[in-house]
Chain A
Amino acid sequence: MTQPFGELGRFAEPSLYILVSLSDSPKHGYAIMADVEEISGSPLGPGTLYGALARLERRGLIEALEPEDRRRPYRLTGLGASTLRIQLGQLEGFLRTGLERLGGDAR
């Protein structure tokens, strides 16, 4: 995982999942948790979720909206969207290279 995700340590992967989850619409904590589980196939613990949310918010990649009751939705910022685009682009290149090499091996 490259910068700025590299500096997030164990929160790097959950952070990427959260950005992907927020890329279509704002969501509150529980909705993010359920969506990430659907995307990744593995559950995201509440401590990890809020550790990642705090890091993303501090770096300006997401922002909190006005709370609805006790629920506070989060949305992707412009910086968050462009960062996510770069990250996914890098992962796409990584994925393509891996698949090409696997394909080469298969031949």
Chain B
Amino acid sequence: MSRLLNLYPAAWQERYRDEMMDLLAEHPPTWRDRFDLVLGALDARLNPQVHGRPAASERDVPGPRTIAVSIGALIGGALWIAGGLAMNAAPFGAADGYRESTAATLILAMAALVSALAAIGLAGRSGTFMGIGRAMLVMALLIPLPWPLVLFGVFGTAFATCAYGIALVREGGQPAGIVLAVTALALTSINTQDERALLSIPLGLAWVAIGAIALIRRWPAPIRA
């Protein structure tokens, strides 16, 4: 039954969940009641009523930190996209079949850095998220360094971001984390020899989505870990 109540917005749950659970414990719901709860959840999302209470209204106005974190994620995402496009557009080197990707690599390093800072900002006081965010930051700093450190930086960023996405889903209760995890894994196949140079773009789109959701859902507050 609590799964049906999870359909309600967070502010609504904070206000009414306990008493609804109590009511449903006293009055075991019929299928009609379950359908009524689904309609109620839909209504609560389309016509939010829980605005006037102080705790809700504070959360309804995004604070400076939420705005900063969201903008960080959006900029990080844009940089991942720009880096992929720049890498794909770079000319091929004379002999080895790889593109001249120095400028694009710097853009991707900036993307990794800004994304890591956004991840740390999203972390709040959670040790798990903070730890992974710091690992992302260290890996981002390796990306502009010469071979083979750049390789450690890219792979490390990809795996740390994947871990962050999984933690968002499992510990933070944020389903959008799965998109981050999957697109981060795709980054491990990035290659300047062909169109695989574009593989940072899905990760960029994922970070843009995370930034937008963070702004709409007032992260970092809803992360439960």
Q: A46 to B44, Cβ gap below 8 A?
A: no
Q: Which of A28, A50, A72 has the most CB of B within 10 A?
A: A50
Q: Describe A's contact surface by its main secondary structure.
A: helix
Residues of chain A in range 17-73 having any CB-CB distance to chain B below 8 Å: 28-30, 33, 43, 45-51, 53-55, 57-58, 67, 69-72
- Chain A nearest Cβ from B41, distance in angstroms: 7
A54, B12: Cα distance in complex, Å: 9
Q: B23 to A30, Cβ gap below 8 A?
A: yes
Which stretch in B25-33, B85-93, B98-106, B109-117 binds the other chain?
A: B25-33
A50-B16 in contact given A33-B27, A45-B36, A58-B51 (Cβ < 8 Å)? yes
Q: Describe B's contact surface by its main secondary structure.
A: helix
A8, B218: Cα distance in complex, Å: 28
C-beta contact mask, B21-55 vs A, less than 8 Å → 1, else 0? 11110110100110111111101100001111000
Interface size on A, residues (CB 8 A): 22
Q: Which of A45, A48, A57 has the most CB of B within 10 A?
A: A45
Q: B19 to A71, Cβ gap below 8 A?
A: yes
A54, B15: Cα distance in complex, Å: 10
Q: A46 to B22, Cβ gap below 8 A?
A: no
- Chain B nearest Cβ from A76, distance in angstroms: 18
Chain B residues lying within 8 Å of A28, measured Cβ to Cβ, are 19, 22-23
- Chain B nearest Cβ from A48, distance in angstroms: 6
Q: B18 to A47, Cβ gap below 8 A?
A: no
- Chain A nearest Cβ from B221, distance in angstroms: 21
A58-B49 in contact given A46-B33, A47-B41 (Cβ < 8 Å)? yes
- Chain A nearest Cβ from B218, distance in angstroms: 19
A54, B37: Cα distance in complex, Å: 14
- Chain B nearest Cβ from A62, distance in angstroms: 13
Q: B36 to A47, Cβ gap below 8 A?
A: yes
A55, B48: Cα distance in complex, Å: 9
> Chain A residues in contact with chain B, CB under 8 A?
28-30, 33, 43, 45-51, 53-55, 57-58, 67, 69-72
